[in-house]
Amino acid sequence: MTNTIVIAELNKGSIHSTTKELVSAAQMLGSSCTVVVPCTDSSVADSISSTSGVEKVIVAKSDIFANYDASGWASAIDSVTPEGIIIASASPQSKDLAARLAARRKVSVVQDVVAIQDGKLTSPVYSGKAMQTVSMSGNAVISVRQNVFDASPDGGSAEVSVIDASGNVATAVRELIARASARLDVSEANIIISGGRGMGSPDNFSHLEQIADTLGAAVGASRAAVDTWDDIPHSMQVGQTGKTVNPNLYIAVGISGAIQHLAGMRSSKYIVAINKDPDAPIFQHADYGIVATWEEALPVLQSSLSAMM
């Protein structure tokens, strides 16, 4: 029987909903699922111990988990995690952690898994131009994209143990100074509306922000927008050299659909494209396409959404 160990994904001190999706993935790979929760406050583990399919919860408690630090986290988590297949989220931070855990344990890492069938893992390669399916022999570390699996429902009652994970850590990050932004980050969002160079000017992103506020969405951008305008930060960039996202709904406005942009958003559940050029490549990947300028389309979209909400 294969042990599976889920590394809980945390967001601002609470367990992120994707952790229950990771438990579903774990159930497809093994029989006994343990969840390791790296945290500073052990009460955060309550929400995961009642999840169906979780047999054991190991709360790895340490001050170092206040801020991400690659080597400190990998060392601390490795020291409390049992042998088995380790499953983490495919967020940028957890992909980094996954690779480091795999290196420490001298096992393979498979990143960005989007399907599991008969113990085989499918993930995109070459910026999403192809999909690979690999089988595992023995233990490995895998990262799973958000929104791929249904969340495991409530209904479990796992045994919870709390371990002090500070023991072997040489360095820790005391404080992170981030660029202040009140807006939701694209990697956290279930709905994203992104703008490209076709928006014409960074000021016009305010039209995207209005729609984002109505929908509870995050605002993203293409690399051309980020490279052209200083006001559009790299943290908004979606794509090969930006963030990989997997929301339920991705709205691309004034974005041509270059392969490098698609690499970061192609697996979104629904893609809507607004572009004035009917031949724009984005339309080949869109579930719904609107051939219009954003100046025509966005006010109509905004007023329909406001009426609905």
Ligand X SMILES: Cc1cc2nc3c(=O)[nH]c(=O)nc-3n(C[C@H](O)[C@H](O)[C@H](O)COP(=O)(O)OP(=O)(O)OC[C@H]3O[C@@H](n4cnc5c(N)ncnc54)[C@H](O)[C@@H]3O)c2cc1C
Q: Summarize as ranges the residues that interact with ligand X (CB under 6 A).
A: 196-198, 222-225, 237, 239-242, 254-256, 258, 260-261, 264, 274-277, 280, 293-295
CA angle 279/230/93 to nearest 5° reads 85
- DSSP-derived secondary structure letter, 4: E
In the complex, the smallest distance separating the C-beta of residue 268 from ligand X, rounded to whole angstroms, is 14
What does the alpha-carbon distance between residue 55 and residue 8 come to, in Å, rounded to a whole number? 14
Given a contact cutoff of 8 angstroms between Cβ atoms, the answer to whether 249 and 287 are in contact is no
Number of H helices and number of E strands within the chain? 8, 17
Give the residue from 287, 21, 10 showing the smallest Cα distance to 145: 21
From the CB of 245, what's the least distance to ligand X, in Å? Answer: 11
The residue (of 15 and 225) whose beta carbon lies closer to ligand X is: 225
Which lies closer to ligand X via its Cβ, residue 53 or residue 195? Answer: 195
d(CA 200, CA 208): 13
Q: Which of 36, 263 has the CB closer to ligand X?
A: 263
Q: Percentage helix, strand, coil, to 5, in the chain?
A: 35, 30, 35
With contact defined as beta carbons under 8 Å apart, do 87 and 6 qualify?
A: yes
Q: How far is the CB of 264 from ligand X (least distance, A)?
A: 6
Task: Please tell me the distance from the alpha carbon of residue 267 to that of residue 249, in angstroms, as a whole number.
Answer: 10
Residue 85 or 217: which CB sits closer to ligand X? 217
Residue 306 CB, nearest approach to ligand X (Å): 21
Question: What is the nearest approach in angstroms of ligand X to the Cβ of residue 291?
Answer: 9
Decide whether 54 or 253 has the Cβ nearer to ligand X. Answer: 253
CA dihedral 120, 151, 250, 221 (to 10 degrees): -90
Nearest distance from C-beta of residue 127 to ligand X, angstroms: 8
Of 81 and 222, the one with the shorter C-beta distance to ligand X is: 222
Quote the CA–CA distance of 3 and 160 in Å, as a whole number.
17
Kindly tell me which of 27 and 194 has the beta carbon lying closer to ligand X. 194
Q: Are strands 218-221 and 191-195 parallel, antiparallel or unpaired?
A: parallel
Supply the minimum distance, in Å, between the C-beta of residue 90 and ligand X: 16
Helix (H, G, I), strand (E, B) or coil at 212: helix
